[in-house]
């Protein structure tokens, strides 16, 4: 599921795919600027997602923001999982002020915790059919498929539960990474530097920045910038604040630096144009 552009924070857009049975755990964490939905048909899958180690339940839909570094660290031999990615802007356009949306963008995983056999069979059937249809049709014929997937995710947002529990495992050796990501999520709105983050986890800045890049395949500063932009996207749709206010609320030192970062990550689209376009679509 990881490409070079994905590792550096690219976008996958609307995509449906299947992970092969029993692959090796992923060697690097990666990010992509999308919402990801997983369905595990059998076996077990354990993710390192931001600062949390989470074992995903089988026969459940699980939703999370892939803009936080994540990777599979354990995968049973009998595991079989399909995945769906949707553009972040779809997710942001659903509902004006949804606290669940904010929780997901802060690193929580949303999952169906109480579903009966009928729902489990229905979800398994839907995900399988969606994958087959996605692979057999061209992009311009995906409109009905997008509507079905969107409807199921929106239902999950209303009925699912958040998994915010963290399980520590010293054998994984990612405690410092977890602390750094947690520090960013609680201090992104301040004027922090890569050195501040390194000092917060007790490492020399140069050493920790090198370690972060080797682990996540992107720089610490790039991740901080991506995180700030994602929070800015949320604020652009949840508030009527001026763009300049949002820039400073997200920790950017100036509106010009915010515009540069936003347009770089969003293929040249400005914050103002993003707000107009997504707001128009969601009405």
Domain 4-163: state its class: mainly beta
* Sequence spans of domains, the chain: 4-163, 173-282
- Sequence-distant (≥ 6) Cβ neighbours of residue 233 within 8 angstroms: 88, 89, 92, 274
Q: What is the DSSP string of 81-112?
A: EEEEEEEHHHHHHSSSS-HHHHHHHTT-EEE-
Indicate yes or no: pTM above 0.85. Answer: no
Q: What is the DSSP string of 146-173?
A: HHHHHHHHHHHHHH-EEE------GGG-
Residue 2, pLDDT > 60, answer: no
Say what the pLDDT of residue 182 is: 81
Q: Calculate mean pLDDT across residues 43-67.
A: 85
Residue 5, pLDDT > 50, answer: no
Residue 15, pLDDT > 80, answer: yes
With tokens 């964490």, the residue in question is 29
- Greatest mean pLDDT among 4-13, 138-147, 201-210 lies in 201-210
Q: Which of 134, 154, 161, 106 is nearest to 13 (CA)?
A: 134
Q: Specify the higher pLDDT residue, 150 or 21.
A: 150
Say what the pLDDT of residue 254 is: 95
Distance of alpha carbon 184 from alpha carbon 69, whole angstroms:
12
Distance of alpha carbon 166 from alpha carbon 97, whole angstroms:
26
User: What is the length of the chain?
Assistant: 283
- Sequence-distant (≥ 6) Cβ neighbours of residue 271 within 8 angstroms: 232, 236, 243, 246, 258, 259, 262
- In the three-class reduction of DSSP (H, G, I as helix; E, B as strand; rest coil), residue 205 is classed as helix
- Sequence-distant (≥ 6) Cβ neighbours of residue 224 within 8 angstroms: 184, 188, 192, 194, 197
Q: Calculate mean pLDDT across residues 85-89.
A: 88
Superfamily of domain 173-282: Homeodomain-like (1.10.10.60)
Q: Specify the higher pLDDT residue, 105 or 136.
A: 136
Question: pLDDT confidence of 44, banded at 50, 70, 90?
Answer: confident
- What percentage of the chain has pLDDT greater than the value 70? 84
Q: Specify the higher pLDDT residue, 6 or 32.
A: 32
- When mean pLDDT is compared across 29-38, 61-70, 91-100, 179-188, the lowest value belongs to 91-100
Residue 81 corresponds to which tokens in the numbers above? Answer: 């999982």
- Sequence-distant (≥ 6) Cβ neighbours of residue 156 within 8 angstroms: 61, 63, 110, 112
Distance of alpha carbon 197 from alpha carbon 176, whole angstroms:
10
């Amino acid at each position: 599921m990881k490409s070079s552009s994905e590792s550096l924070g690219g976008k996958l857009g609307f995509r449906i795919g299947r992970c092969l049975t029993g692959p090796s755990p992923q060697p690097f964490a990666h990010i992509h600027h999308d919402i990801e939905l997983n369905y595990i048909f059998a076996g077990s899958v354990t993710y390192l997602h931001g600062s949390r180690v989470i074992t995903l339940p089988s026969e459940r839909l699980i939703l999370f923001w892939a803009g936080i570094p994540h990777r599979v660290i354990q995968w049973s031999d009998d595991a079989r999982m399909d995945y769906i990615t949707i553009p972040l802007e779809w997710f942001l356009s659903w509902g004006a002020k949804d606290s669940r949306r904010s929780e997901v963008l802060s690193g929580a995983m949303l999952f169906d915790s109480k579903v009966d056999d009928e729902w489990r069979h229905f979800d398994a059937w839907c995900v399988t059919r969606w994958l087959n249809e996605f692979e057999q049709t061209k992009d311009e014929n995906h409109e009905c498929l997008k509507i079905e997937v969107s409807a199921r995710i929106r239902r999950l947002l209303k009925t699912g539960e958040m998994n915010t529990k963290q399980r520590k495992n010293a054998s994984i050796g990612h405690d410092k990474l977890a602390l750094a990501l947690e520090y960013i999520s609680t201090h992104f709105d301040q004027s922090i530097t890569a050195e501040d983050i390194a000092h917060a986890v007790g490492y020399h800045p140069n050493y920790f920045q090198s370690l972060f890049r080797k682990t996540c395949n992107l720089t610490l500063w790039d991740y901080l910038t991506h995180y700030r932009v994602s929070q800015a996207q949320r604020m652009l749709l949840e508030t009527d604040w001026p763009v300049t206010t949002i820039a400073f609320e997200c920790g950017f030192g100036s509106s010009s630096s915010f515009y540069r970062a936003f347009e770089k990550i969003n293929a040249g689209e400005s914050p103002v144009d993003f707000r107009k376009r997504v707001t128009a679509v969601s009405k």
